[in-house]
Amino acid sequence: MKKFLFLLVTLACIAVSNNSYAQQRQKVDAVNRPTQKAATKTTTNALIPKGSMIIGGSAGFDMQFEDGNNSSILYLSPQFGYFLIDNLALGAAISFTKVKDVDPVFGFGPFARYYLNNGLFGQLQYEFRSQPTFLDERINGSSAGLGVGYALFLNNSISLEPLVYYKRHFGDLGEFNQTGLQIGISAYLGR
């Protein structure tokens, strides 16, 4: 009888702790939405379904290393994207970059982002960059980069998004590598 009582109490404790653990975890649910395909109804388990839009932005601070010279960089970038298929967004971003004691650099370019159903995402980005000078001339360049991030959903539509990235810059603005961490916030319309 003591063994049976011990087993019953142990199972009850496991059930209670498992239930409270499940309630404490952050839950990133895929959207289960009916879709129409060739006269058959199917459902999608995508984190972000086709037809949704992303509106957001990010801010970052990182270090640039070039020929032994180090400098700090402030980076701001609003973006807009559209999900062409489940979990895949294509869009455009503009950017403002300020390096200490240097004129700001403005950029514009496309990006692609693919989400896994657990909230992880990968991002590819290309950017055309331009820096005005005091004689109304412009110095141009570009950059290409990739990153890995996580969409931490605060509710069904808003997420905080830390992103670790690598960029390669080239052109008249200089050729160098850049790595960093940026924190973004995004709103997902139609999710």
Chain segment 122-144, per-residue pLDDT in tens: 999 999 999 988 777 889 999 99
95 and 75 both lie in a single domain: yes
pLDDT at 64 over 80: no
CATH code of residue 176: 2.40.160.20
72 and 148 both lie in a single domain: yes
Give the separation between CA 119 and CA 138, rounded to whole angstroms.
40
Give the separation between CA 56 and CA 1, rounded to whole angstroms.
61
27 and 64 both lie in a single domain: no
Residues 152-174 have a mean pLDDT of: 94
- Would you place residue 40 in the very low, low, confident or very high pLDDT band (cuts 50, 70, 90)? very low
84 and 108 both lie in a single domain: yes
Determine what percent of the chain is predicted with pLDDT higher than 90.
53
CB 188 within 8 A of CB 52: yes
* Radius of gyration of the chain, Cα coordinates, nearest whole angstrom: 23
Residues 20-48 have a mean pLDDT of: 55
95 and 144 both lie in a single domain: yes
- Would you place residue 31 in the very low, low, confident or very high pLDDT band (cuts 50, 70, 90)? low
27 and 71 both lie in a single domain: no
173 and 118 both lie in a single domain: yes
Distance of CA 98 to the CA centre of its chain: 21
131 and 88 both lie in a single domain: yes
29 and 60 both lie in a single domain: no
32 and 66 both lie in a single domain: no
| Mean pLDDT value across the chain | 81
Which residue range is the domain that position 127 belongs to?
A: 53-189
Residue 162, Cβ neighbours under 10 Å: how many?
Answer: 16
28 and 80 both lie in a single domain: no
Q: Bigger pLDDT: 181 or 127?
A: 127
Counted residue by residue, the chain has a size of: 191
Residues 156-169 have a mean pLDDT of: 94
69 and 97 both lie in a single domain: yes
Whole-number pLDDT of residue 23: 39
pLDDT at 39 over 50: no
Count of domains in the chain? 2
pLDDT at 57 over 60: yes
pLDDT at 49 over 90: yes
Whole-number pLDDT of residue 77: 92
